[in-house]
Chains A and B, each alone.
Chain A
Amino acid sequence: MSAAIGAGELQVEEQRPKGSPEDSARAVGRRRATPYLLLLPGMAWLIVFFVLPMLTLLGTSTQTRPPGAEIGVYEQTFRFANYPEAINEYLAVFARSFGYALIATVAALVISYPLAYAIAFKAGRWKNLLLVAVVAPFFVSFLLRTIAWKQILADEGWVVSALKALHILGPQDHIINSAPAVVIGITYNFLPFMILPIYASIERVDSRIMEAAADLYANVFTAMRRVMFPLSLPGVVAGTLLTFIPAAGDYVNAFLLGNRNTTMIGNVIDSRFLVVVDYPTAAVLSVTLMAAILFLVFFYIRRAGTEELV
Chain B
Amino acid sequence: MSTSTGARQRPAAVSKQSIGSKVGRWFGRNSIRIYAALAFTYLFIPVAYTLVFSFNDSGRSNYSWQGFTLDKWKNPCGAPDVCPALATSLKVGFLATAVATVLGTMIAFALARHRFHGRTTTNLTIFLPMATPEVVMGASLLALFLNLKINLGFTTIVIAHVMFCISFVVVTVKARIASLDPRLEQAAMDLYADEVQTFRRVTLPLVAPGILAAALLAFSLSFDDFIITNFNSGTVNTFPKFVYVSSLRGIPAQANVIASAMFFIALIAVLIGQVVTAGRKRQKA
Which residues of chain A have a CB within 8 Å of any CB of chain B? 1, 3-5, 7-8, 11-12, 34-36, 38-39, 41-43, 45-47, 49-54, 56-57, 59-60, 111, 114-115, 117-119, 122, 128-130, 132-137, 139-145, 147-152, 154, 156, 188, 191, 241, 245-246, 248-252, 255-256, 265-266, 269-270, 273-274, 279, 282-283, 286-287, 289-290, 293-294, 297, 310
Picked from B114, B163, B178, the residue with its CB within 8 Å of the CB of A34 is: B114
Check if B69 is an interface residue, CB within 8 A of chain A: no
B42 contacts which chain A residues (CB < 8 A)?
A: 111, 188
CB distance from A271 to the nearest CB of B (A): 11
Asked if A270 and B36 sit within 8 Å, CB to CB, the answer is no
Cα–Cα distance between A10 and B158 once the two chains are bound (Å): 43
Report the Cα distance A270→B139, complex, angstroms: 8
7 inter-chain pairs at a CB distance below 8 angstroms, sorted by A residue, are A7-B185, A11-B189, A49-B144, A122-B36, A142-B224, A148-B45, A151-B53
A292 nearest CB across to chain B (Å):
10
Q: How far is the CB of B104 from chain A (nearest CB, A)?
A: 6
Q: When the two chains form their complex, are residues B135 and A256 in contact, meaning their CB atoms are under 8 A apart?
A: no
Q: How many A-B residue pairs have CB under 8 A?
A: 255
Decide if B285 is an interface residue (CB 8 Å cutoff).
Answer: no
A1 touches B182 (CB 8 A): yes
Q: Is the CB of B240 within 8 A of A282?
A: no
Contact with A along B146-179 (1 / 0, CB 8 A): 1100000000000110110011001000000010
**A38-B107, A42-B106, A145-B50 in contact; A117/B32 too (CB < 8 A)?**
yes
Instruction: Tell me the bound Cα distance from A293 to B159 in angstroms.
Output: 25
The residue on B at minimum CB distance from A268 is B135
Q: Does B129 contact A (CB under 8 A)?
A: yes
Q: Give every chain A residue within 8 A of B159 (Cβ-Cβ).
A: 49
Is B215 at the interface (CB under 8 A from chain A)?
Answer: no
Q: Is the CB of A53 within 8 A of B144?
A: yes
Contacts of B243 in A (CB 8 A): 141, 143-144, 147
- Measured between beta carbons, the chain B residues less than 8 angstroms from A246 are 133-134
CB-CB under 8 A from A52, the residues of chain B are: 144
| Max count, chain B CB within 10 A of own CB: residue among A8, A134, A143, A310 | A143
Interface segment among B3-11, B73-81, B251-259: the answer is B251-259
List A contacts of B83 (CB < 8 A): none
Partner of A118, one of B33, B125, B127, B240: B33
Complex Cα distance, B35 from A47, in Å, reads 45
Interface locus among B14-22, B204-212, B266-274: B266-274
A245 to B227 CA separation, bound complex (whole angstroms)? 14
- B interface SS class: helix
| Cβ–Cβ contact B40 & A133, under 8 A | yes
B115 contacts across to A, CB distance below 8 A: 35
14 further interface pairs, Cβ-Cβ under 8 Å (given A188-B46, A245-B132):
A4-B185, A41-B103, A45-B162, A50-B125, A50-B128, A50-B140, A115-B35, A144-B243, A148-B49, A151-B53, A245-B131, A251-B135, A252-B227, A286-B135
> Which of A12, A114, A144, A149 is the most central at the interface, judged by chain B CB atoms within 10 Å of its CB?
A144
- Known contacts: A1-B182, A139-B262, A289-B133. The answer to whether A151 contacts B139 by CB under 8 A is no
Cross-chain contact B45 with A139 (CB below 8 angstroms): no
5 A-B pairs with the lowest CB-CB distances in the bound complex, closest first: A249-B133, A35-B114, A42-B103, A53-B140, A148-B46
Instruction: Say whether B133 contacts A141, CB under 8 Å.
Output: no
B163 touching A252, Cβ below 8 Å = no
